Amino acid sequence: MTSGQLLVLGASVLWIALCMRFWWAIDREHVWQRRFIAIGVGVGGGLIYLIGTMMLEMLKESPPPDPQSGEEVRVLTRPPVEERK
């Protein structure tokens, strides 16, 4: 697992921990508030992970294209300079 993947996973877990702290703080009598917070925890954590992994894929460097077979490459160089004596 690369450091980028660990960072995305850590951000997702941090979001879940932060939201669960609010879930625990809400009184048990407020059932719907707790349910909405729980839905937000799941959806938010999943979206952070999904968008983070998509961004990591976009940031990867693509390998240079291979030259096609039979393709000629010409390089122009200067003629060598004669040394002065």
Residue 49 lies in a domain: yes
Residue 70 lies in a domain: no
Q: Is residue 12 classed exposed, middle or buried when 0-12, 13-18 and 19+ CB atoms within 10 A define those classes?
A: buried
Nearest to 16 by CA among 4, 27, 24: 24
State the residue for tokens 């702290």: 21
Residue 27 lies in a domain: yes
Count other Cβ atoms within 10 Å, centred on residue 13: 13
Residue 46 lies in a domain: yes
Q: What's the mean pLDDT in 61-83? A: 75
Residue 28 lies in a domain: yes
Lowest mean pLDDT among 2-11, 14-23, 25-34, 69-78: 69-78
* Number of compact structural domains in the chain: 1
Q: Flag whether pLDDT at 83 surpasses 80.
A: no
Query: Domain span at residue 28?
Result: 3-59
Residue 82 lies in a domain: no
Nearest to 49 by CA among 5, 1, 2: 5
